[in-house]
Amino acid sequence: MMLARTLARKAMELGMGSRRTLLTAVDTRQWTSGGLTRSQILDEVPSTPSLSPSYPHGPYRFNNREYLIVSYETTPEALRRVVPQPLIPNPENVVLYEWIKMPDSSGFGDYQESGTVIPCKLPDGRELNYVAQMFLDCEPPIACGREIWGFPKKFALPKLSVNRDTI
């Protein structure tokens, strides 16, 4: 507990804020002994823990992706329960469920994901897609997707495969 308070106080002195104080004990020893500078922590470490980041540095490339997107119609009441305000669900009541196979993603390797996407509008009329949920079978793109892009990603085992002529 004392180490946590000391680290938090030191972080505030350096203007790092409380969010950056979530370092592991190993990171703390290296940082307090002069191993990592403030600049290194903020500019060079892609994520915590610094000695074993959750995901790599960008840029991120997603090559040779395979998609299957199923469109279906639901009720306006069901959409309204899921879509947050101020978004306006599409008047056709369409929901998209997608499976994506990511065989070649820089720093992430081979993984699969699936999720629910709902076409919506903002009050000013601009169209957008609201991503309600995403399920992935690989931790680094989950952490990166949540922390960098704000996607609602969660661990699961989505699988899309082809068996002869059947998906």
Tally of helices (H runs) and strands (E runs) in the chain: 5, 7
Catalytic entry in 10, 101, 153, 154: 153
Cα–Cα distance between 87 and 50 in angstroms, integer? 37
CA 52 distance to own-chain centroid: 18
Side-chain half-sphere exposure of 84, counting CA atoms within 13 A: 5
**154 in catalytic set:** no
Q: At 61, is the secondary structure helix, strand, or coil? A: coil
CA 28 to CA 114: how far, in whole Å? 37
Catalytic center residues: 153
